[in-house]
Amino acid sequence: MPAPFTLSRQRPVRLWLATLSLSAASFFVLLARPLHAQETDGPRTKTESPYFFVKSDDPAVDALPLKSTEVDVRVTGVIADVTVRQTYRNEGKRAIEARYVFPGSTRAAVSGLNFRLGDRLVTAQIREKQQARIDYEAARQEGKTATLLEQHLPNVFQMNVANILPGDDIQVELRYTELLVPQAGNYQFVFPTVVGPRYNSPQSGQAKSAWVAQPTLPAGMAPSTRFKLKVALDMPMGIKEVRSLTHAIDVRKPQDNATHADVLLANTSEPADNRDFVLDYRLAGERIESGLMLYKGQGDNAENFFLAMIEPPKAVAANAISPRDYIFVVDISGSMHGFPLDLAKATLERLIGGLRPSDTFNVLLFSGSNKMLSPHSVPATRANIDGALRTIQQYSGSGSTELIPALKRVYAEPKDDKVSRTVVVVTDGYVTVEREAFELVRKNLSKANVFAFGIGSSVNRHLMEGLARAGMGEPFIITDPIEAPAQAARFRQMVESPVLTSVKARFEGLDVYDVEPAALPDVLGERPVVVFGKWRGEAKGRVWIEGQAADGPYRAELKVDALARQDAAALRSLWARHRIASLDDQEALEGGGAFKERITELGLRYGLLTQYTSFIAVDQVVRNTTPGSAARVDQPLPLPKGVSELAVGQSLGAAVPSTPEPEMFGAIAVVLGVLAMLRRRARRTDARRLTS
């Protein structure tokens, strides 16, 4: 009798050991997956991904050479003139080259750079990008102090300052202008302060770009740089309201001048340069400043520029709205962990919860992989909406950010030809596949239009605005939960009832050419129609804007007055910046460098920073007699407010293990389920043997 009992005990033990071995093997195989989906070469290296900053052990090297940033903004009407002063100081004992990656406005026309060293002021020249890099490297190797300003993306710049000697104090100043276009009577000025850590997909054209491998301060470590910002508003009519949801501000209005206001950052203990600075203001009477601005060039071959801004009709509720299909593409990657994903969930509750029963919807969640919540779109019933929201609430954010495979899956979803589809992308945009995403959206424009919701304190606005522009939609940026209800309501209003369609500009009596944009888009919100261009001869005639409003034909007129001021010099840079952006869009669609020559020519002719032109300034004095011994220092960036350390690819020089994706948990659950089943079967077998 003892023998059978012993054998029956040994059998389940062997079964347990085999199953546990299977579980462990499966677990470690899954855990050993590459950090990013669709990669097979192991974890990405420090040269490819953002990494956490560790201060050098060499006390002779100043690892934090950027000491302060001061921003001076002057807004006159609808044009903002911005001056940014960066102060670099070497408090170490070795000469250094400082490299600093920083953000910029997606609409900025960067037109000037200089630096001051002691009593010498050196003004930069615009050069073709590769030539500027060659000239800079030559100056660096010769021991000359030099600065190089490059554009990596329309909203990502890099400043290099060579041969900063011990004790040097160098002030670099860059200048740009941008057009502030109001939305529903609200004006907004945005100054980005930090480039969020990007997931660098191997599919990206930026995959080998060194700027992506930026050092990042660990969470909770405040930047050591001083940051100051002031804004002076001068409006054509009274200023009604000035506010900021992102920063504490002090607003000062002279009692005798209702059209002027000064805005300063308030003194607080919280860092100010770890999130976008967003300033909102409204004018008295809820009107926008529409009209015609002119600039008459000087000289025989000078060009004249105009800008027409016309207020559209007010939005009205549509009487008959066709059913629509909505697919929400939601980023649940590591950079969305915590505050960004919580904010995204609150926004989705508003967006999905506001759908009509006649609409259909689906949700695609993506990180390193992607998953549809339903095999096909389902009716927007209360039960389906509640079920989708419950599922979304279960995710906490982990893994990489594979946007392109997610979009491709959306476009592969079949739909009825009679149904209009809207794709809503919800993300912080921390990727490097902007160009690839724009091309994909444009090529599939016949299948769906695209709206983009940027979530977080320092959103990649280039991606959000570009997706919306390519998809004939609109971008929405939400930095605070307070904004979610209003933005969701604005989205519903736009998709249900465009304010103005079939928009055309017609010119009477004014000889115009090189008009931008070539084709006017539909007006989806109460945003003015804006037309740039050049003109010849006498400034006279009329500008007509025509289109179809929700309640019938629409027509607006602007008279061209020869007596009007013609000194709006910023129009020259703004027109060129708009033309360059249009060519960038075409290049993204057609691929290759088809428009490189034209973009380069515009950058050189109008003195603008572009992806193919750079600013370089060189002090001709040889100051460093041993330039080869200078240390290269990458200025670290703060982690954007609310962003988790899961967004950073490396920690303290070692790879950060990726948090398991949902599929990983599912696989582990299957293995454990098999284990439990085998255990129950073994118990039943033992019970039968005992009873027999």
Average pLDDT along the chain: 85
pLDDT tens digits, 556-568: 999 998 777 888 9
pLDDT at 593: 75
Examine the pLDDT at 665 and tell me if it is beyond 50.
no
Among 244-258, 465-479, 515-529, the least confident range: 515-529
Fold topology of 54-193+226-272+275-286+609-634: Immunoglobulin-like (2.60.40)
Averaged pLDDT, 367-374: 93
Pairing of strands 304-310, 529-536: antiparallel
Instruction: For residue 659, give the DSSP letter.
Output: P
pLDDT at 659: 37
690 pLDDT band, cuts 50/70/90, is very low
Return d(Cα 150, Cα 127) in angstroms, integer. Answer: 10
Averaged pLDDT, 514-543: 90
Examine the pLDDT at 661 and tell me if it is beyond 50.
no
Averaged pLDDT, 166-189: 95
Examine the pLDDT at 668 and tell me if it is beyond 50.
no
Examine the pLDDT at 3 and tell me if it is beyond 60.
no
Return d(Cα 593, Cα 597) in angstroms, integer. Answer: 8
Instruction: For residue 305, give the DSSP letter.
Output: E
pLDDT at 288: 66
Examine the pLDDT at 168 and tell me if it is beyond 90.
yes
Which is nearest to 455 in space by CA: 337, 288, 566?
A: 337
Instruction: For residue 523, give the DSSP letter.
Output: B
Instruction: For residue 175, give the DSSP letter.
Output: E
179 pLDDT band, cuts 50/70/90, is very high
Among 291-300, 403-412, 597-606, the least confident range: 291-300
Q: Note the Cα 435 to chain centre separation in Å.
A: 13
Report in angstroms the alpha-carbon separations of 21 from 8, 314, 672. Answer: 20, 68, 12
Q: Bigger pLDDT: 326 or 686?
A: 326
502 pLDDT band, cuts 50/70/90, is confident
Examine the pLDDT at 269 and tell me if it is beyond 80.
yes
Averaged pLDDT, 536-549: 91
Return d(Cα 279, Cα 273) in angstroms, integer. Answer: 14
pLDDT at 31: 39
Decide if 448 contacts 436 (C-beta within 8 A): no
pLDDT tens digits, 35-69: 333 333 344 454 578 889 988 778 899 999 999 99
pLDDT tens digits, 387-400: 999 999 999 888 89
Q: Note the Cα 141 to chain centre separation in Å.
A: 35
Averaged pLDDT, 289-298: 86
pLDDT tens digits, 81-129: 999 999 999 999 999 999 999 999 999 999 999 999 999 999 999 999 9
Return d(Cα 350, Cα 309) in angstroms, integer. Answer: 32
Which secondary-structure segment (H or E) carries 176?
strand 169-179
Examine the pLDDT at 319 and tell me if it is beyond 70.
no
* Torsional sign, CA 457, 458, 463, 464: positive
pLDDT at 338: 92
pLDDT at 7: 37
Which is nearest to 541 in space by CA: 564, 518, 519?
A: 564
Other Cβ atoms within 10 Å of 245 Cβ, number:
11
pLDDT at 108: 95
Neighbour-count burial of 399, counting CB atoms closer than 10 A to its CB (0-12 exposed, 13-18 middle, 19+ buried): buried
Instruction: For residue 410, give the DSSP letter.
Output: H
pLDDT tens digits, 408-440: 999 999 988 778 899 999 999 999 999 899 999
Examine the pLDDT at 77 and tell me if it is beyond 60.
yes
pLDDT tens digits, 226-258: 999 999 999 988 999 999 999 999 999 998 889
Examine the pLDDT at 570 and tell me if it is beyond 50.
yes
Pairing of strands 51-52, 215-216: parallel
Instruction: For residue 145, give the DSSP letter.
Output: E
pLDDT tens digits, 20-38: 454 444 444 443 433 333 3
Bridge partners, residue 171, by sequence: 87, 116
